[in-house]
Structure 1
């Protein structure tokens, strides 16, 4: 059976008015701020009124390490939400907003696929409600105020060599990674080295996703460390009196966005940090709101479980007091065969032996999730090229791990194709077997926390770092930040820092080349290997194939 393109399916969706979607949730029309007919923001007053309600059950969808073969984590998240509603459960979905950079690069959007999508797909994958633009503006306002303060005399005694706040934009552009500016003479300011990160790597993105409300948002913004004085003491955003204006720019962006699935089930799409360079989860506000409105909330964490799930557990759940009831680990036969050494061009051919070789990647992730005390089930996202022998071999391997692997056809069939998984996930969450606990304690030294994640999750033999990195970690601890969790920036393609090491490598070395303090967000970032906080475009970016048709329709998004 031929399935139309994602954008074609989305364009032909029979959407309900967002007011109808809100009404089904019990959201008064006055508490919805519509952006057109099919998307709206929830008012802060309504969110605050939900505090008296109990919480539903939180279900995390994560995945094996991504490969060019495809895994379908967001597609499965949407499909599972639809499936739970199909079997009579009151369920909601919480997703991250896509970044424009990957949409026009190689990764594509983040609205799901096939018949398991959130809509309006084009809006969600492009400008949506302007949240990312607000984050970009707030971030760059702070950058402008730093340079302006220095231009007018530098009363805070900034050391120009130790300004840590860069600029951001929501696009892949390697040419902006590092530059010297401002240039052009005395009237433009003092030249110094700086650069751009992608907006999703901004600390303000992480702050928006972790803040409880507007007051917490403004306090976190004020706590951002933007650089250091000549005596090495930190300079905060509040020292520049920038926090109030930044909060004003982010006021509307703090409100979660309500949209719907193709099957008219509610979804909150809000926030969007990358999991390879940030904490990779949707906003705490959206998740906590959904838990008050539904009995089951299905959310995702970016990339593989070594990144997204670990940060979901160790950062988001720790900071927000969330207690996940179950986890779903998404895998595909194709991706596991690629982990087993099969080239992308040969994935259509049956190869049970390669599948079993690559399944060690799945096994490693199952072991890791269990370390957090969360029960797990495997979702096998079906591709038309999968053979019965391959599916049976994968399910048999899963049984050796003590987990069930459920075949899912939601991409082609919508909720009807994932009903079996929905029943099993609901049962798993209802059993109350979860005994969630983070991987490490707050009072452990920062380097100790990095070491725990490297050895327990990545299976590294050791962590190496230059003396400058160790000294910087010691300085963070001396400044009172030793209690913070760590957010490790690492390639998404491997458990190691080497993207070419597929499967389940062991005894590798994790090189930490830089550490950054995100005092407002509340974590310390450890940058490893060759990971970049500003991606580049590929040789043939998706932007070459995105265009308007003669009828004025957007073509090429996926």
Structure 2
């Protein structure tokens, strides 16, 4: 594999030159028998986990890849995840990669896809980034079937006594579309349904997505769907999907989607890609089914959690690991020189210029993330995701800081060199896996919702207090009355800052976090705390990435990163 021209090519161009193996070959390498494989074309397949051989209690170790607080362009967590997985496989370690599926919203908006980049990608990247095997379509359909049944129930007499003003579930679409945030439906007269205010969320914010990613199997999926709260009656009694009787049809729509998807990295490492909740508005982790399937097949599983460690990693450990058993044996914190400079006070348009002092100043952000990982009983490993404009002086600031603080650190050029560029990182991770650890979630579930939110704010964010809106205070009362106090919390917060203010960079302290809403997700099993100006339906930027995309005369994607 030659990498000399990587800097001059797009991720799509690099991916198009890769020679992929048939998915059956990748499956055999992973230990997946032919009868468990359901091919979707030549290079993708679903895996029927019921047909996998039993491995008893032996499960692989988990390496969680997270990051410092990112720039708007992202810091390459998926790229490092794939590159690290390939580098570990190159050492002879039986490795699998477990990632989230990309959402169409950010693909056509600004952030880009979730298949990695350069010579550390999962393939076929264009198909994975578009419709893949249809999982998100199935989740969208299941969510919207539920809402069609809810509105039909209102129209047909409303036997459950649902208060139309207190329906908390919304329709979803896998696209950034701010015009759908707030709408009125049922207009046109008595035959057109019951008029009410509602809106759309993006599919990745749907509780159906959260349930899909936290379920341990089809039976658990059905049970969790039934427990979802869709609204309240006129006397404020919760109404669930089970009360409506919709969980069976929803499960039927999801029965194929719940099987994890097998693909391969550019270096041939097997990868399971399944589920995809955002970490700033949801819990930010791939499916429990995929992670634990990978653990049953490999000695080491490299997975990721979205955005910075204050979001995805905290939720991985306080929500996913708590209930799945897949706690991390090592945590990798991805840092970039450009993100350090941004948190050191450099404007976005000046990040390409060398600024050693700004890198040094930005270490306050990375240092807090590293400190936070230790609070879960795990020693972090720092991976510096190397960009072509990074200078030796800037990189040495980070490596020297890490050495002075007893933190394993490696410069990783996995974008430009593939697994060879992650060799040092792989060795650091292997040492971390074998180091003694004492994992524990951050808080006890019996602490109460307010206590758990305050713990996250003080221990992870560095804030001093929490202020609740009037609506959030009313919901706190309902949460207590309905016996939901023992659920973990899922913070919906900007990814750019430890605070709820995206302009407050670095490592701010002493702020008061504003909680404007609380949303019980009783099927997923957590309470979402919506902070600041965070939206569950993003909008497109002024110049959407979609405007640069097309297909050529052969039907091949053009302009996709």
Band the TM-score falls in, shorter-chain normalisation? over 0.9
Q: 1:453 aligns with which of 434, 453, 456?
A: 456
| Distance in 1 between residues matched to 2:392 and 2:444, nearest whole Å | 45
Cα 1:69–1:388 change in 2 (3 A) is farther
- For residue 86 of structure 1, the aligned residue among 85, 90, 98 is 90
**Deviations along 1:283-326, whole A, 9 cap, x unmatched?**
00000011111111000000000000000000000111222111
Equivalent residue of 1:50, what SS? coil
Pair 1:546-2:549 in alignment:
yes
CA–CA separation in structure 1 for the residues paired with 2:263 and 2:144: 29
Give the alignment's Cα RMSD to 1 decimal. Answer: 1.0
Which stretches in structure 2 are left out of the alignment for 5+ residues?
Answer: none
Task: Work out whether residues 467 and 514 of structure 2, in 8 Å CA contact, stay in contact via their aligned partners in 1.
Answer: yes
Residue 480 of structure 1: how far off its partner (Å)? 1.9
Measure, in 1, the Cα distance between the counterparts of 2:164 and 2:555: 49
CA distance in 1, matches of 2:371, 2:152: 51
2:361 corresponds in structure 1 to 357
Structure-2-length-normalised TM-score: 0.98
- Aligned pairs for 1:308-323 (under 5 A) are 308-323=312-327
Structure-2 separation of matches of 1:514 and 1:51: 44
Distance 1:507 1:455 in 2: 9
* Aligned mate of 2:509, from 502, 506, 514: 506
Q: 1:42 aligns with which of 39, 47, 50?
A: 47
**1:199-224 deviation digits (Å, cap 9, x = unpaired):** 00000000000000100000000001
Match of 2:337 in 1: 333
Corresponding residue number in structure 1 for 2:65: 61
TM-score by length of 1: 0.98
- Answer yes or no: is the 8 Å Cα contact 1:70–1:334 preserved in 2: no
Q: Secondary structure at the match of 1:276?
A: coil
Shift of 1:160: 1.2
- For residues 468 and 418 of structure 1, the distance between their equivalents in structure 2, rounded to whole angstroms, comes to 48
| 1:69–1:334 CA contact under 8 A, matched in 2 | no
In the TM superposition, what is the alpha-carbon distance from 1:421 to its structure 2 partner? 0.7
- SS in structure 2 at match of 1:476: helix
Give the corresponding residue for 2:559.
556
Counterpart secondary structure, 1:52: coil
From 272, 293, 304, the equivalent of 2:308 is 304
Structure 1 residue ranges, 4+ long, deviating more than 3 angstroms after superposition: none
Q: Greater shift after overlay, 337-346 or 197-206?
A: 337-346
* 1:430-458 Cα deviation digits (max 9, x unpaired): 23x12110000011111110110011111
Measured in 2, the distance between the counterparts of 1:555 and 1:509 equals 45
Instruction: Identify the residue that residue 95 of structure 1 maps to in structure 2.
Output: 99
Q: Which residue of 1 aligns with 2:139?
A: 135
Mapping for residues 466-505 of structure 1, pairs under 5 Å: 466-505=469-508
- Residues 486 and 51 (structure 1), Cα distance of their counterparts in 2 relative to 1, 3 Å cut: farther
Distance 1:277 1:509 in 2: 19
Between the aligned partners of 2:483 and 2:351, the Cα distance in structure 1 is 51
**Cross-structure match for 2:182:** 178
**Separation (CA, whole Å) in 1 of partners of 2:148 and 2:73:** 42
1:406 aligns with 2:410: yes
Q: Any idea what SS the aligned residue of 1:109 has?
A: coil
Determine helix, strand or coil for the equivalent of 1:527: strand
Separation in structure 2 between the aligned mates of residue 258 and residue 419 of structure 1, nearest angstrom: 25
Give yes or no for contact 1:69–1:335 (8 Å, CA) kept in 2: no
In the TM superposition, residue 366 of structure 1 has moved relative to its aligned partner by 0.2
Cα distance, 1:13 vs. partner?
Answer: 1.1
Q: Which runs of 5 or more structure 1 residues have no equivalent in the other structure? A: none
